[in-house]
A and B are shown apart, each in its own frame.
Chain A
Amino acid sequence: MPARMPSSASQAASAAAGPKVGREDDPRRPLLRLATFLDDGSLRLLTPQDSSGVLAAQGTVRGVPVVAFASDATVQGGAMGVEGCSVILTAYEKALADRVPVVGLWHSGGARLAEGVVSLHAVGEVFAVMTRASGVIPQVSVVLGAAAGGAAYGPALTDIVILGPDGRIFVTGPDVVRSVTGENVDALRLGGPEPHGRRSGVVHVITETTEEAYQRAQLVCALFGAQGELDVSAVRDRDLIALFPESPKRAYDVHPVVGAILDEGETLELHPKWAPSITTTLGRFGGRTVGVVANNPMRLGGCLDSSSAEKAARFVRMCDAFGVPLLVVVDVPGYLPGVGQEWDGVVRRGAKLLHAFAEATVPRVTLVTRKAYGGAYIAMNSRSLGATRVFAWPGAQVAVMGAVAAVRILHRRRLAEVEEDDRTRVENELAQEHEELSGGLPRAVEIGVVDEIIAPERTRSALATALAQAPRRRGQHNNIPL
């Protein structure tokens, strides 16, 4: 943890001016923010309105009971001292006792400078209670303004981080960066939507308006807090094949496929722009909350890479911890090869996805639409990792690698001896032979790594039946921010 956690210049300025009382029309007032977020008339304060810098309340969102707390940015830039941190602890104790989601509305410069180390200790206690609550109750963060230092790590420890248009997240603000390293960078570039949406993976959801940030957080509470029952009879089959290109080599956007598998209505894609070769989406299926993990061939051809494996691993562990079943839609050519990936830790970070699926106890059903090759085949919730059920569409390729690529390795010497003009013909012959020998999809069914070949037009009903028949379980682990 950096030494300079109390980092906001505005905090120092506010502290010098003394505690300010928020004006009635100040949009940063925590009571106003909590009242806006919670269902009308449902708000009950858990802590008094004072100068502690944080306010906590219980209430409902979309009828689901929740606990929420908000930074008071009108006092010392929302900085967290002993009293403010104790408000957050109170909120967590209540949420843990009631087993309900807890939502933080963040706008804070971090630990209170004026209080010294005692404020660092208090912030550390907040981190500890968040970790204790991890995997037990859903934790959602909505970052409405600057969240620096300790106020950056608070949200980062939670399950889902939503960034509003004025939200900025950084360990140290622009002023400190400039004074320490001389680097000239503004808050937007340091910790705005672009860096956190595309590069860092800190933020799950970016919104264009503050209102939308609240709505997304409300949706998360509803999806986790009121998961519903899967009604198989309500799941209608749809023509999914129309969403795929004719050529099996051609990339396509998987989003419409995920949308067509899920029920119509609200869905929430997490990390849409970070690690986009895989998509992670919460939604409803037959009325029940599910998580969908799907390779997206439009980006990197759908390859797994170090960040997409990590993104999916965290999503799988989160869903497992909260008892949310998983649908895994596979069309993956492999792990992305290359020195960049190796140096980026594709082995270490890829291992997280293997671990996440292998430990998951929620129902988790796999559908191979076009292909599943090599190590990526294993990682995408294969039979060997304990998939509840594995379906494949007719014509899907399930193999170590493509047949031509395989014979180029297996028959390297023989191919080297063949005349250049003739090589493609020989390669194709060998590839056909290889496919017959390795057996393709029928062989995958025979050995039990694919349970059933299903027609695309009955995919939804098959997925629904498989999920409904599986025993209901929930992972007994936390959700470390991988």
Chain B
Amino acid sequence: MTQRIASDLVANVALVHVRVGSSVQAGDEVALLESMKMEIPVVAEEPGTVTDVRVTPGDVVQEGDVLVVID
């Protein structure tokens, strides 16, 4: 199943922990967002392999923007 991990809110991308080909487990942090003066981890809901990384640190993302795609 393809998981498109999207941002829940407008945020700055602080860190991206994965790249294409990385394998992730459920609950792994794939990126760190900054918003509302908070550091908010973005985690994978299911295990899989990263097939696309659409952001880099410093990007501003909108609500619903896809950050990482996992297959």
Contact = CB atoms under 8 A, between A and B. Distances in A.
- How would you classify the secondary structure of chain A's contact residues: helix, strand, loop or mixed? loop
Contacts of B26: none
A302 B35 CA distance: 11
B1 interface: no
Contacts of B36: 300-301, 303, 333-334, 336
Contacts of A303: 9, 36
Given A338-B63, A340-B63, A297 B38 contact: yes
B39 interface: yes
B8 interface: yes
Given A299-B8, A336-B9, A251 B37 contact: no
A300 B39 contact: no
Contacts of B9: 300-301, 303, 336, 338
B57 interface: no
B39 A249 contact: yes
A35 to B, nearest CB: 38
A247 B34 CA distance: 14
A298 interface: yes
Given A338-B63, A340-B63, A249 B37 contact: yes
A340 B65 CA distance: 14
Interface in B33-64: 35-41, 63
Nearest to A402: B37
Nearest to B40: A251
A413 interface: no
B37 A405 contact: yes
B10 interface: yes
Contacts of B39: 247, 249-251
B2 to A, nearest CB: 15
Contacts of B8: 299-300
Contacts of A298: 40-41
A187 B8 CA distance: 27
Interface residues of B, number: 11
A251 B38 contact: yes
Contacts of B41: 251, 298
A303 B8 CA distance: 11
A228 B44 CA distance: 40
A338 B37 CA distance: 15
Interface in A311-351: 333-334, 336, 338, 340
A405 B37 CA distance: 9
Contacts of B63: 338, 340
Interface in A268-319: 297-303
Contacts of A251: 38-41
A405 B38 CA distance: 13
A293 B17 CA distance: 32
B19 to A, nearest CB: 23
Nearest to B41: A251
Contact of B35 (A301, A340, A402, A405): A301
B38 A338 contact: no
A442 to B, nearest CB: 22
Q: Which of A250, A251, A301, A405 has the most CB of B within 10 A?
A: A301
A248 to B, nearest CB: 9
A336 B36 CA distance: 8
Contacts of B37: 249, 301, 333, 402, 405
Contacts of A247: 39
Contacts of B40: 251, 297-298, 300-301
A189 to B, nearest CB: 15
Q: Which of A251, A302, A338, A405 has the most CB of B within 10 A?
A: A251
Contacts of A340: 63
B6 to A, nearest CB: 13
A247 B36 CA distance: 15
A357 B36 CA distance: 25
A250 B10 CA distance: 17
Contact of B10 (A333, A334, A338): A338
A287 to B, nearest CB: 33
A186 B10 CA distance: 32
Q: Return the 10 tightest CB-CB contacts between A and B, nearest first.
A: A301-B38, A301-B36, A333-B36, A251-B40, A250-B39, A249-B39, A301-B40, A300-B9, A300-B8, A251-B38
Given A333-B37, A336-B36, 4 more contacts: A249-B38, A249-B39, A300-B8, A301-B38
7 contacts: A249-B38, A298-B40, A301-B35, A333-B36, A336-B36, A338-B10, A338-B63
Interface of B: 8-10, 35-41, 63
